[in-house]
Each structure stands twice: as C-alpha cells, then as structure tokens.
Amino acid sequence: MSFDLSVIPNKNIVLAVTGGIAAYKSAILVRRLKDAGFNVRVVMTHGAQAFITPLTFQALSGNPVHTELLNPEAEAGMGHIELARWADLLLVAPASCDTLAKFAAGLADDLLSTLYLATKSPVWVAPAMNQQMWAAKATQRNLNTLVEDGVHVIMPDAGSQACGDVGLGRMPEPEDLARQVTQYFHRAQRAIAEKFGMLAGKHVVITAGPTREAMDPVRYISNHSTGKMGFALAAACYAAGAKVTLIAGPVSLDTPNGVRRINVTSAVKMLEISMQMLNEGCDIFIATAAVADYRVAEVAEHKIKKTGDELNISLIKNPDIVATIAQQQKRPFMVGFAAETRNVEQYAAGKLVAKKLDMIACNDVSRADIGFASDENAMIVFFAEQYHMQKRDLEKASKQEIAQQLVEAIHDALHHEIEPV
Ligand code: C5P
C-alpha cells in the first residue's frame, strides 16, 4: 500500500494574518501552501490590512478574504462558524502580541478571536514582533497560557528586525512554515495509515461461530461459541483496509459493515467454502470458529424416535479446517485460535506447530471473566519460529480492542523479515 506523500489533498487551512510587517511574508506562504496541495482561506485582522491588502490574498488563495465578524454579506457566503468547521488547521502567521493576548484572554470581539474559540481544529501561531515585545512578561505569560490550552507555537527566528533591533521575533520564512505544516499532515496521514491501512489490499477469510452437526432433521450437536471474536476481527480487518469474507456458523450477530458473509452450518460445509476462498485468492486465513470435532456418522433421514433407555450415536472426526488449508501449496498467512482450560501456553504452542500455523492466539476459557460469551477477552499470541518474534500478551480488553491488536500482530508478522530456515 502506498500513499502519495508529495501533496496533501483536500486539507483546509485557514491562514489568519494579523498586524505586523511580517504580513508580507504571508502572501508567499499562501503560495507555498497552495503548491503543497492545501485549500487556503485567509482571514485578516484590521491591523493586517494596514500592511497588505485583502485583494492580494484573494488573488493568491483563489478565495474571498474574510475580514469582518458582523458583515451580513460575508456571513451569507461562508459564515464564521462554517469557516471554523471548514478548517483542518488554523494557522495564525504572523501572530501579533495583541492577537496572542486576545486568544489567551478568550476575547471574541473580532472575526479571528471568535474563530479561535469556535474551531475544533488544531491552532498554530507564529508570533512575529519586536524583540522587546516578544520578551515582555505579558507576552510570555500569554504564550504559556496558549501552550497550556493546546496551541502549537512556532518559535520566532532571531536576527535583524524591520525596526532596526536585533533579536528574537522574526517570523520564520514561508518555505519553512509550509514545510512544517506539510510535515504535520504527513505525520497525521501516516498515523492513520498505520492504524487503519495495515491490511490494505489483502483478502482476509475468517471462520467464526460454532458449527452445527445434524443428528436428524430436528436435532444437532453444537457448542456455546457466539462468534463475537470472529465478528470483531472481521470488523477490525475491514477497518484496516482489507477485503473480508466471513464464513459464519449459526450465530445471532449482525454482519459488520463492509464484510462479505457466507453462512454455513456444518464443519464439512465450512471447509468446502474455505477451500473455495483459497481458489478465489486469500492472503490471510483466520480460524476463530469453534468447529465441532466430531459429526454424526450417519445422519438419520427421519426424526429419531425414543425407543429404548439408551441411544448410541456413532461420531466420526470432522476435518480440521485450519490444518487442511495450511497444508495447501499456495497457503495464506495462517492464524489459529486456541481456547484452553489448563496448560494454555503449552497446548497453544503445540497447536501452532502441529497445524503448521504462522500465528496462534490463545486464551484461558476457565476464567469466568473472558472468553466464549463474554464481551472481553485476554490472549497470548505466539508466532511460528521462523518469524523470530516474541510472544505477545494482550491484556484483558474488549473483543474489539483485542481484535485491533491481533490485526497489528498479523501486520507485524507479515512485515517481519523472515530469515531462511
Ligand atoms: O479445536 P482446536 O483447539 O484444535 O482449535 C484450534 C484452531 O483450529 C482454531 O483456530 C480452530 O478454529 C481451528 N479448527 C479448525 N477445524 C477444526 C478444529 C479446529 O479449523 N476441525
């Protein structure tokens, strides 16, 4: 999966320009932000308009410039609340002493200060002022307040100033500011990709729930599996960008959004559909199903009558679905589950090897607070030896959270350098 990190599409920046000689640099900043692919709308305080005209910013941003809070005409276009919601970032550059003070005090007597209070977006300020004003106790106090309030302060550069002084207070160059903004969105985008795009492009097949083995037309052998873990995994894999097919035994759960569900009843049918999925192309196979180990040797055609005091039914072994898939030549990455009541780790590690799995997640179902019907789970994950990966303890959490961590474990194993064995 690849993201184009060269430009950031469809991100909205409200660039607020306040009164200061550095306002001229903001004109170039608009250009640089547009070059990087951002949508830019400019807000100007009255002070800023003494240095540079709204027309300049209108021409550069391609959007009308916002200057007034109580202007019926402007509010009819994009009102201040709408503008506050539109912003993915409110960037105040240059930020004057007066603006910092207004923000720190929570005033709302002009468009920008109102916007600051009304937006949920991150707020960045790039203070630019005379070095003495920067060093003033009140300015530093206000900056501390803003940092405490979650505002990101871009530190001014040192150097010669328009007023003839030398010191801290120069606004960083537009290229530098644009780069910082772009990097911020790249980081955010990467974090989303890491969280939600880990399985992008993969086809994940998940077996879930119990199987039901018929005895006669009205009776069956089954177990208590609810399918919750498998369904939570299906949702997590879909959220991670995968195409997901859920082969579900009889459970009363809604199909997760975006997931293809194929209902089956018996273990034999579950295996048949699993093999079909392999032919369709499957990258990751996750076996959460509590498959009945045995099925009735001969299913009675008609309802079995209660004739004697005893009834003997002969059972034969069901196929092991996950082990069968793991034996195929073009096998997917195989994930198994093990529910144990004792020697949990030992049995699970044994199944990992015996069934030729890549990863196994096991839990202790003797614990009353987790497992089968519970909404929570706690698991230990083992990886096949060739991955050289440490086992992972997934502490007790909702099945959704456990599912997310299992997706991360699968992703990590898939991207782990497999050394030749
Ligand atoms: O039942 P057992 O502990 O052997 O299950 C371990 C793993 O094997 C689970 O992932 C389960 O879904 C899978 N399994 C299977 N077919 C079976 C039995 C178990 O796919 N017949």
pLDDT band with cut points at 50, 70 and 90 for residue 166: confident
Ligand 1 centre and the CA of 181: distance in Å? 50
Q: What spacing in Å lies between the alpha carbon of 322 and ligand 1's midpoint?
A: 6
Question: In the prediction, which pLDDT does 71 show?
Answer: 81
Q: Does the beta carbon of 352 sit less than 6 angstroms from any atom of ligand 1?
A: no
298 with 248: CB under 8 angstroms? no
Do β-strands 294-296 and 315-317 pair in parallel, antiparallel, or remain unpaired? Answer: antiparallel
Distance 225 CA to ligand 1 centre (A): 12
- Nearest residue (by CA) to ligand 1, atom 17, is 320
State pLDDT tens for residues 238-295.
989 899 999 999 999 999 999 999 999 999 999 999 999 999 989 999 999 999 999 9
> Mean pLDDT over all residues of the chain?
91
Q: Which two tokens stand for residue 26?
A: 């903001």
Contact present, 226 and 172 (Cβ < 8 Å):
no
Q: Which tops the pLDDT comparison, 360 or 70? A: 360
Please report the pLDDT score of residue 339 as a whole number.
87
- The letter for the amino acid at 123 is V
- Show Cβ contacts of residue 342 under 8 Å, excluding neighbours closer than 6 positions: 366
pLDDT at position 297: 97
Catalytic residue among 97, 163, 282, 362: 163
CA–CA distance, 58 with 15 (Å, rounded to integer): 12
The whole-angstrom separation of Cα 49 and Cα 55 is 10
CA pair distance 91, 128, nearest whole angstrom? 13
Would you give the distance in Å from CA 370 to the centre of its chain? 25
Establish whether residue 291 lines the binding site of ligand 1, counting it when its CB lies within 6 angstroms of any ligand atom: yes
Most confident residue range from 165-169, 357-361, 400-404: 357-361
Cα 249 to middle of ligand 1, angstroms: 14
Q: If residue 287 lies in a helix (H) or strand (E), which one and from where to where?
A: strand 284-287
The predicted model gives 163-175 an average pLDDT of 91
Query: What is the reported pLDDT for 373?
Result: 66
Instruction: Estimate the crossing angle of helix 23-35 against helix 54-61, to 10 degrees.
Output: 10
Ligand 1 contact, 289 CB (< 6 A): yes
Q: Which two tokens stand for residue 243?
A: 């195409």
Q: How far apart are CA 171 and CA 26, in angstroms?
A: 10
* Cross-strand pairs, 152: 124
Task: Decide whether any atom of ligand 1 lies within 6 Å of the 336 Cβ.
Answer: yes
Q: Name the residue with higher pLDDT: 375 or 354.
A: 354
Q: For the chain, which domains are there? A: 12-160+168-188 (3.40.50.1950), 196-414 (3.40.50.10300)
* The two structure tokens encoding residue 295: 């099925």
Residue with the bigger pLDDT between 307 and 350: it is: 350
Q: Is the pLDDT of residue 84 over 90?
A: yes
| pLDDT tens digits, 374-417 | 788 899 999 999 888 999 999 999 999 999 999 999 988 987 75
Find the 413 Cα to ligand 1 centroid distance in Å. Answer: 21
Task: From 273, 322, 324, 357, give the residue whose CB has the most ligand 1 atoms within 8 Å, as the site to mutate.
Answer: 322
Of residues 240, 252, 236, 261, the one with CA closest to residue 400: 236
d(CA 148, CA 51): 31
Q: Which of 202, 189, 227 is nearest to 403 (CA)?
A: 227
Tokens (6 digits) for 57: 């910013």
Buried/exposed 1-26: b ≥16 CB within 10 Å, e otherwise: eeeeeeebeebbbbbbbbbbbbbbbb
CB atoms near residue 253 (< 10 Å): 17
For residues 27 and 240, what is the distance between their CA atoms, to the nearest angstrom?
Answer: 40
Provide the pLDDT for residue 75: 74
Short-list 280, 203, 278, 212, CA closest to 234: 203
Instruction: Give the pair of three-digit tokens for residue 405.
Output: 């961590």
**Rounded to the nearest 5 degrees, what angle is found at the Cα of 399, between the Cα atoms of 376 and 226?**
85
Q: Is 338 a pocket residue for ligand 1 (Cβ < 6 Å)?
A: yes
Length of the chain: 421
Instruction: Tell me the CB-side half-sphere exposure of residue 233, using CA atoms within 13 A.
Output: 30
CB atoms within 10 A of CB 124: 21
Based on the residue annotation, tell me whether 163 is a catalytic residue of this protein. yes
Greatest mean pLDDT among 195-199, 347-351, 369-373 lies in: 347-351
Is it the case that residue 421 has pLDDT exceeding 80? no
Considering only CA atoms, give the Rg of the chain.
31
pLDDT tens profile 137-154: 999 999 999 999 999 999
Q: Which residue type is seen at 173?
A: E
Q: Considering the entire predicted model, what is its pTM?
A: 0.58
Measured distance CA(120)–CA(124) in Å, rounded: 12
Query: What local confidence, expressed as pLDDT, does residue 419 receive?
Result: 42
